[in-house]
Structure 1
Amino acid sequence: MQADTYIPRRLDDQWKIGFWDVDVAAPVLFFVFVGYLAGTRIAFAASLGAGLLLSRAIARLKADKHPAFAIHWLYWHLPTSPLTAMSVTPPSHLRRMVG
């Protein structure tokens, strides 16, 4: 009856792509795709550089903040759509709540 059962230590970790969090790796992957579509080596290198710079800026912005900081920032600064609207929380354009 002795079985080695794996018990995860952390259930709510961010998704990872390699060593990067998904929200930091997404700009690099997007710009690499755009550079590939451009069809030239110079455009690929320039878009790769832009993606790396943007992901570095996002990583610095996220440093020492809540792990879901990027999602919270996107919720408060982007317009809502039917896919992102939450029924329990107030709309993001209502900044001051009374009560």
Structure 2
Amino acid sequence: MHADTYIPRRLDDPWKIGFWDIDVAAPVLFGLFMGYMSGSKLAFAVCALAGAFTARAIVRIKADKHPAFAMHWLYWHLPTSPLTVMRATPPSHLRRMVG
């Protein structure tokens, strides 16, 4: 019995804005927003460049790592609060491996 089974490859892709992942696009969008809110062209340019350089640094850090590297890094380095708590995983201060 031979059946052609289609296996989807892109079911769990990270969110994207255009061609960028959301964690790379967020600093650029935040820089553009802050520059717009500042009200001057120079501040807009500075904030946009700072966002672009931050996004470039994130891309270099994420290179050759797990696709959810940014989420994992945030989990281990941000304090636990109602916004960042995950119910299915232990708190990040428990670092003892079992097994």
Pairwise TM-score range, normalised by the shorter structure: 0.7 to 0.9
The normalised TM-score by structure 2 is 0.86
Q: Which runs of 5+ in 1 are unaligned?
A: 1-6
Q: Deviations over 1:31-74 (max 9, x none)?
A: 10000000000000000000000000000000110000000000
In 1, Cα distance between the equivalents of 2:12 and 2:98?
A: 32
- Superposed CA RMSD in Å reads 1.6
In 1, Cα distance between the equivalents of 2:87 and 2:8?
A: 32
1:10 and 2:10 aligned: yes
Alignment of 1:20-99 (within 5 A): 20-98=20-98
Q: Aligned letter for 1:60?
A: R
Inter-CA distance 98–14: structure 2 relative to 1 (3 Å threshold): closer
Q: Aligned letter for 2:77?
A: H
1:8 is displaced (CA, Å) by: 5.3
Q: Which runs of 5+ in 2 are unaligned?
A: 1-6
1:89 is displaced (CA, Å) by: 1.7
Q: Identity of counterpart residues, as a percentage?
A: 74
In 2, Cα distance between the equivalents of 1:98 and 1:71?
A: 22
1:96 is displaced (CA, Å) by: 2.5
Number of residue pairs matched by the alignment: 93
In 2, Cα distance between the equivalents of 1:98 and 1:11?
A: 30
In 2, Cα distance between the equivalents of 1:64 and 1:55?
A: 16
